[in-house]
Amino acid sequence: AAGRRAFAHVEALAGMGVRTIGGVANEEEAPAYIIQQLLQVRALASSDVLIEVGTQRPSGAFTTSFLGGIAISYANLTNVVCRISRAKEEGAKGREHAVLLNSHFDSVIGSTGAGDDLSQVGVMLELASQLASRPTLLEHAVVLLFNGGEESNWPAAHGFVNDASPVQLQTPAAPEDIGGKEGQWVASLRVVLVMEAIGSGGREMLMRVTAGGPWISRG
């Protein structure tokens, strides 16, 4: 059942066609769908779970050694973000440390990106649904980043981790964040998991672990 629900998200988003930076499908239609699904999850969530949903429109620039070294600048990209944590008193402590999962809803020119990367967007939306009813799993917060600009060499993710623009929440903020800190979640991140796909089939695998992170791959 969970797999079918995740695949339904893939079908709905792929049905919007090619989604490249600047296009209506990528900047409006896909984010609207993801937000709608997250708000539905929030509406059905346990009263012991706090779900915050928002958007971000980052602008910025950076250099990378990819392809021998390139400079990338970007403006007004679209990210959808969601933080899931325990509600009430124990939630504030849990939100001090968070795990980030990242996927992207944009696609390359000429493709609807069902595998890369809507397959992982679908998984993350279903994960949100599962966590919403299981507060005991939320010892620490889980931040879901659905980024709208990966295929142009990662600008949307860069904009998020560098706090390039504030997150505009569409739901009430956590009590301790009210008063100017809404959506400022990057400082709490302790682990980042990038959910990516290459090709259209095959088994799941761990492709790379950065320095200092091998412990996460141990059972």
> Which CA distances in Å does 185 have to 139, 167, 180?
16, 9, 12
Distance CA(3)–CA(52), nearest Å, equals 24
Alpha helices by DSSP H, listed for the chain, are: 2-14, 24, 30-43, 88-94, 119-132, 155-161
For the chain, give me the number of helices (H) and strands (E)? 6, 8
Do the beta carbons of residue 193 and residue 100 sit within 8 Å? Answer: yes
Catalytic-role residue among 150, 151, 196, 204: 150
Tell me, yes or no, if 204 is annotated catalytic.
no
Distance CA(216)–CA(207), nearest Å, equals 13
> Which CA distances in Å does 9 have to 45, 113, 123, 170, 171?
19, 12, 9, 21, 22
Q: Which residues are designated catalytic?
A: 150
